[in-house]
């Protein structure tokens, strides 16, 4: 099988594996679209934000800053901090692709680095063919963007009670992220509890309560993640053998 045929095969395999991801993205992005509408954004603005940033937590952080009347700098800093984990994922992916992979492919690979696409990419045995990620992104990214656009559009016509009910899906997304991790690791569960309590105190303590919600996200993320990195560092696993070619 020549290179072109291999790329085509991996592309369609990525599309197939990306279908369930796209379905999940649509549901979560729909809730994000409703939140964007409540923050004063239009459906087109929600769509542009979604197609340029495939990150639920980062997008929610940006929407929160917008809803709180924060400026561009605060929104940029918030999304940067919330999305820092994708830098680590990108470093891991760079070790899985061919060392001779061109810069153009590396830039293209950086766009669809999400938790889910990263997960299926790292599960690929041997070296990662970039066309696998391209195929997954071809299905998943439109699902994410379409969900946000329809969510923002529906937020303008749905009754308030239905809108509030659908917004619960956003909290369900975060619970789906933290509960499995908390069950596997008591440290993670403790960190989640501390973060929730700290966020609650920020809203109740007089001086801290005056800080905008966007700045609260920045402060809490930096302080808590910094403390965890110092007191609970992640131990590196022993390095295995070289992966084989797919």
Residues of the chain with confidence (pLDDT) below 50: 236-246
Q: Give the pLDDT of residue 176.
A: 65
Assess contact for 47 and 145: CB atoms under 8 A: yes
Q: Give the pLDDT of residue 237.
A: 41
pLDDT digits (tens, 9 = 90+) for 196-218: 888 888 777 877 767 766 567 67
Q: Give the pLDDT of residue 171.
A: 64
Cα–Cα distance measured from residue 242 to residue 44, given in angstroms and rounded to the nearest whole number: 46
C-beta neighbour count of 218 within 10 angstroms: 20
Assess contact for 62 and 172: CB atoms under 8 A: no
Q: Give the pLDDT of residue 241.
A: 37
Q: Give the pLDDT of residue 129.
A: 94
Cα–Cα distance measured from residue 140 to residue 112, given in angstroms and rounded to the nearest whole number: 9
| b/e per residue 70-86 (b: at least 16 CB within 10 A) | beeebbebbbebbbebb
pLDDT digits (tens, 9 = 90+) for 117-133: 988 898 888 899 999 99
């Amino acid at each position: 099988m020549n290179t072109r045929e291999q790329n085509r095969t991996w592309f369609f395999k990525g599309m197939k594996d990306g279908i369930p991801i796209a379905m999940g993205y649509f549901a979560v992005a729909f809730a994000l679209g409703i939140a964007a509408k409540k923050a004063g954004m239009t459906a087109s603005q929600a769509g542009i934000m979604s197609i340029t940033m495939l990150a639920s937590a980062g997008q929610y952080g940006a929407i929160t800053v917008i809803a709180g009347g924060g400026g561009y700098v605060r929104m940029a800093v918030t999304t940067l901090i919330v999305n820092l984990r994708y830098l680590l994922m990108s470093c891991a992916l760079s070790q899985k692709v061919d060392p001779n992979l061109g810069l153009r492919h590396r830039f293209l690979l950086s766009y669809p680095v999400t938790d889910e696409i990263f997960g299926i990419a790292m599960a690929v045995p041997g070296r990662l063919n970039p066309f696998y990620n391209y195929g997954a992104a071809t299905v998943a990214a439109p699902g994410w963007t379409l969900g946000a656009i329809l969510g923002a559009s529906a937020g303008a016509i749905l009754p308030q009670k239905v809108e509030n009910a659908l917004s619960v899906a956003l909290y369900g997304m975060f619970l789906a992220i933290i509960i499995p991790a908390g069950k596997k690791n008591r440290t993670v569960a403790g960190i989640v509890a501390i973060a929730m309590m700290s966020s609650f105190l920020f809203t109740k303590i007089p001086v801290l309560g005056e800080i905008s919600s966007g700045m609260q996200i920045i402060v809490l993320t930096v302080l808590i993640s910094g403390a965890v990195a110092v007191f609970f560092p992640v131990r590196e696993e022993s390095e295995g053998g070289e992966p084989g070619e797919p």
